Amino acid sequence: MAKPSPKDRKYTKEHEWTKSDGGNTVTMGITDHAQELLTDVVYVELPAVGRKVKQMQPIAVVESVKSVSDIFAPVSGEVMEVNQALEATPELINKDAFGEGWIAKIKMDDPSELDGLMTAEVYEEHIKANPH
């Protein structure tokens, strides 16, 4: 069973989370439900620092033993930092999707985009309705 989605962040339908770092910067990653669907993560293709991303466009690629999945930018902005630890230990996403398995930090172009994302409660309803 997936770990509960923390209430201190916002979620996308595609199972990404964002958490405010203060100011206009957010940390993003994928949810515990997403890592369960993916199975064991064995490779992560991270974006270059400085890359400009648009909301819901691919920002990273996560490969598991079973499948490959695009990870989407939950907000538009510039990639400020990526989680380098994932290059050597991609399994951090399985172990701690909401913490040590974070993927990138993004400086937002338009913080109002966050208003369009789901709260933890709405996201939990979303995955109950769409378990796969």
**Would you tell me which residues interact with other proteins (CB under 8 A)?**
1, 36-37, 39-40, 42-43, 45, 61, 63-68, 94, 131-132
Closest approach of Cβ 74 to other proteins, in Å? Answer: 21
Backbone angles phi, psi at 105, to 5 degrees: -110, 135
Residue 88 CA to residue 21 CA, distance in Å, equals: 25
Closest CB to other proteins among 34 and 106? 34
Question: What minimum distance in Å lies between the beta carbon of 123 and other proteins?
Answer: 18
Which residues are 72's β-sheet partners?
58
Question: Which uninterrupted H or E stretch holds 88?
Answer: helix 85-88
DSSP H helical ranges for the chain: 32-38, 85-88, 92-95, 120-129
Q: Tokens in use for 81?
A: 């930092």
Q: How far is the CB of 108 from other proteins (least distance, A)?
A: 26
The DSSP annotation for 32-51 comes to HHHHHHH-SEEEEEPPPTT-
CB of residue 65 to other proteins, shortest distance in Å: 5
> Which of residues 39 and 84 has its CB atom nearest to other proteins in the complex?
39
